Amino acid sequence: MNNIVSISIDGKEIKALKGENLVNVARDNGFHIPTLCYFKKLFPLATCRICTVNINGKNTTACTTKVDDGMEVKVNTDELLENRKAIIEMLFAEGNHFCPSCEKSGNCEMQNLGYIMGITHTRYPHLYREKPVDFTPHRMLMNSNRCILCKRCVEEIKTKDGKRVFSFVKRGNRTTVQIDYNEERKLTDNEAIHAMQICPVGAILVKGVSEGKPFGERKYDFLNKAIRPKLKRKKFELKEGEKFVVGTTSLAGCFGCHMSLLDIDEELLDMIEIVEFNKSPLTDIKRFSKRCHVGLIEGGCANEENVHVLRYFRENCDVLIAFGECAIMGGIPAMRNFVPLKETLEEAYLNGVTTVLGADVIPASEDIPKLLDKVYPINEVVDVDYYIPGCPPNAQHIWKVVKSILLNEEIPISHEEFKYD
CB 260 → ligand SF4: shortest distance, Å? 19
Please, what is the minimum distance in Å from the beta carbon of residue 55 to ligand SF4?
26
The residue ranges that bind ligand SF4 (CB under 6 A) are: 97-99, 102, 104-105, 108, 110-111, 146-153, 166, 177, 199-204
CB atoms within 10 A of CB 241: 5
Q: Which is nearer to ligand SF4, 203 or 264 (CB)?
A: 203
Query: Which C-beta is closer to ligand SF4: that of 48 or that of 384?
Result: 48
Q: Which is nearer to ligand SF4, 151 or 293 (CB)?
A: 151
Round to whole Å and give the CA distance between 399 and 273: 13
Q: Which CB atom, from 335 or from 339, has the smaller least distance to ligand SF4?
A: 335
Calpha distance 130→124 (Å, rounded): 18
CB of 200 to ligand SF4, least distance (A): 6
Q: Are strands 4-9 and 72-74 parallel, antiparallel or unpaired?
A: parallel
What's the closest the beta carbon of residue 257 comes to ligand SF4, in angstroms?
Answer: 18
Which contacts of 178-182 are long-range, i.e. CB under 8 A and separated by 24 or more positions?
178/134, 178/142, 179/134, 179/137, 179/140, 179/142, 181/136, 181/137, 181/138
Nearer to ligand SF4, 204 or 271 (CB): 204
CA distance 123 to 89: 7
The three state secondary structure string of 305-317 is HHHHHHHHHHHHE
Minimum gap (Å) between residue 186 Cβ and ligand SF4: 18
Distance in Å, CB of 204 to ligand SF4, minimum: 5
- Name residue 8's beta-bridge partners: 13, 72
What count of residues does the chain have? Answer: 421
Residue 107 in contact with residue 25, Cβ under 8 Å?
no
179 neighbors 133 (Cβ within 8 angstroms): no
Q: Which is nearer to ligand SF4, 198 or 371 (CB)?
A: 198
For residue 281, the SS3 value is coil
Residue closer to ligand SF4, measured from CB, 151 or 400: 151
- Residues with Cβ within 8 Å of 221's Cβ and at least 6 positions away in sequence, in order, are 106, 215, 415, 416
What's the closest the beta carbon of residue 206 comes to ligand SF4, in angstroms?
Answer: 13
Closest CB to ligand SF4 among 167 and 303? 167
Dihedral sign of CA atoms 46, 51, 56, 57 in order: positive
